Amino acid sequence: MIEEIEIADLGVIERASLPLGTGFTAITGETGAGKTMVVTALGLLLGGRADAATVRSGAANARIDGRWVVPEDGAVAERVAEAGGDIDPFGDAGEAELTLGRTVTAEGRSRAQVGGRSAPVGVLSDLSGSLVAVHGQSEQIRLRSRSAQRDALDRAAGDELAAVRSRYRDIFDRWQKNSADLETLLQDRDARQAEADDLRAAMDEIEQAAPQPGEDDQLAATAERLTNLEELRLAAAGAREAVSTELAEGDDVLALIENARRSLERVTSIDDALQPIADQLQNLSYLASEAAGDLSSYLASLDADDSHELEAINERRALLATLVRKHGPTLDDVIETLERGSARLLELDTDSERIETLTEQVDADARELADAASALTDERTRTASRLSAAISDELTELAMPDAAVLIEVSDAGEYTRSGRDDVAFLMRPHAGSEPRPLAKGASGGELSRVMLAIEVVIAASDPVPTYVFDEVDAGVGGAAAIEIGRRLARLAQHSQVIVVTHLAQVAAFATNHLSVVKESDGFVTASSVTRLDGDARTAEMTRLLSGLADSDSGRAHAEELLELARPETQMIG
């Protein structure tokens, strides 16, 4: 339910606040005052197309803000949370306040706010279906859609059809998924067989080679060593000779260190400060001896026949490189192919079994789907007969006594998620005429009344939180207008109803009467919105009836209308 709408610089409306609330709100005003701008504002809040032409002349932008009362939990709250917005819970009835905003610049750019946060305009569109049903001359295309007509029929059927449809959709979703999986398997069978053959050959090749993690790096290091064997031998031999020569002549490192230590040992008794240095030389002698031994061992390990080992290593490296090139890009990927290949082969090799199983499942789903679709068709057909009669009865009271609405349920020829039914709302303007689609059989004003009749009939079983009607009374007056007002009041017993009207007979049934007032200083025209009560409301009703706010006869008629509508409005309250 909409609590309030704030409008700034939209069309002729400079600034206006529309207190709405529960029940039936009528919006009236002189021609050109901007009544339809209220519907435009609401359309923008619900994600409608932004048009720079709607921005008030001279203003930088138009701004519309709305406050809604919504369930604290449910689809609306979830969508707001997904968009990053917040709702504000209040009271103990599980209700919360939701704010929506829309700004349109003079250049035509648009911004939206949902729950206090900036959001794409598409979020407003997503929320609209759960918040408001708008029926204006430009919005009636919704009723002309076959899918919308099917949805209207389903809404009228209530919980029983909803349960049948839910079961059908579960079966349809399963059937569609299994059918798609089966089609994929059948289409890709040759490709999957080729994949299995290639994978099996690859695994055989990798198993024969038996590569080990990091083996390529280890082999590369060994090959580098063997390739430079002679250079390593000369370097190690030269180093060993320098540290510890086996020749009698010449001093090596060990001999020099030993000579230095002995020189100091002879005089340490004279100055004991030399003893630590002598000890250091002794340690150096030990380290040099150990290095000489290590170098001898290293030289012994350099086998002159290592050229044969180098040849074997290069062959192994070539084999691993071939595997990496075919199954890489790294040796780890090659090993992983071997590790994961078994599971993939098991999946590919069981295609025949899966195809057989899925074929049986799809066939079973198809039979179950046909039964569920038939049950859905039967339920819709029963509802169509009842709904057709109820809408036609309503149209009789809405100044369309010879008109009838016929709802046809036919076979669409294919299964969809909504069933196998094609639902068509047809209108017969008068007895004996051929029923025609609503788009061709009804004018805009008639279509508004048809929509009102539909909503009144459906609202008892599945009401929308808020209904907005623009020019629902077009082309009618007198008793028919009173009946329109009475049915709007009846609709308001279940939902919030907002009506833009120029007829006092309709406005009389409102529990909340707003007037759009146009003012001009000769240069600039501006409109505002005023809530009417008491004498002010009677004066507006008088103006609607006679064109004069102070007409005595018009005033008497206005008071009579208000008295006539009083029982209906008391029921709403």
What domains can be seen in the chain, in order of their start residue?
Answer: 1-136+471-573 (3.40.50.300), 194-349 (no CATH)
Helices (H), 408-520: 438-441, 444-459, 478-491, 504-507
Q: Residue 166: what are its φ and ψ, rounded to 5°?
A: -65, -45
Bridge partners of 514, per DSSP, are 27, 531
| Cβ atoms of 77 and 89 closer than 8 Å | no
Report pLDDT digits (tens) over 115-151: 999 999 999 988 887 888 777 655 554 566 788 788 8
Question: Cα–Cα distance between 81 and 114 in angstroms, integer?
Answer: 9
| Cβ atoms of 376 and 154 closer than 8 Å | no
Q: Residues 6 or more apart from 41 whose CB is under 8 A from it?
A: 5, 7, 10, 13, 64
Each residue's pLDDT, cut to its tens digit, for the chain (573 residues) gives 999 999 999 988 888 888 998 999 999 988 776 777 888 888 899 888 888 988 988 899 999 999 999 999 888 999 999 999 999 988 777 889 999 999 999 998 999 999 999 999 999 988 887 888 777 655 554 566 788 788 888 988 888 899 999 999 999 999 999 999 888 887 777 777 777 777 888 888 888 888 888 888 888 887 877 777 778 778 888 888 788 776 545 578 888 888 888 888 888 888 888 889 888 988 988 988 888 888 888 877 776 546 577 788 888 888 888 888 888 888 888 888 877 887 777 777 666 778 888 899 999 999 999 999 999 999 999 999 999 999 898 888 887 888 899 999 999 999 999 999 999 989 888 888 889 887 676 666 677 778 788 888 887 777 788 888 887 777 777 777 888 898 899 889 888 999 988 899 999 999 999 998 887 655 555 677 889 999 999 999 999 888 776 778 888 998 999 888 887 766 766
Question: Cα–Cα distance between 457 and 388 in angstroms, integer?
Answer: 10
Packing angle, helices 478-491 and 552-572, rounded to 10: 30
Contacts of 378-382 spanning 24+ positions with Cβ under 8 A = 379/157, 379/160, 379/161, 379/164, 380/150, 380/153, 380/154, 380/157, 380/161, 380/409, 380/419, 380/421, 380/423, 381/409
The helix (H) or strand (E) run that includes residue 408 is strand 404-416
User: CA Rg, the chain, in Å?
Assistant: 45
Cβ-in-10-Å burial (0-12, 13-18, 19+) of 117 comes to middle
Q: Which residue has the tokens 């409301």?
A: 537
Six token digits for residue 470? 């623009």
Query: In 3-state terms, what secondary structure has residue 153?
Result: helix
Six token digits for residue 59? 């203003």
Q: Residues 6 or more apart from 558 whose CB is under 8 A from it?
A: 504, 508, 538, 541, 542, 544, 545
Residue 20: which of 42, 40, 36 has the closest Cα? 42
| Cβ atoms of 233 and 299 closer than 8 Å | yes
Six token digits for residue 328? 């890489």
State how far Cα 421 lies from the chain centre.
28
71-80: b (≥16 Cβ within 10 Å) or e: bbeeebbebb
Report pLDDT digits (tens) over 70-117: 999 888 999 999 999 999 988 777 889 999 999 999 998 999 999 999
Cβ-in-10-Å burial (0-12, 13-18, 19+) of 394 comes to buried
| Cβ atoms of 178 and 358 closer than 8 Å | yes
Helices (H), 158-251: 159-187, 189-209, 215-227, 229-243
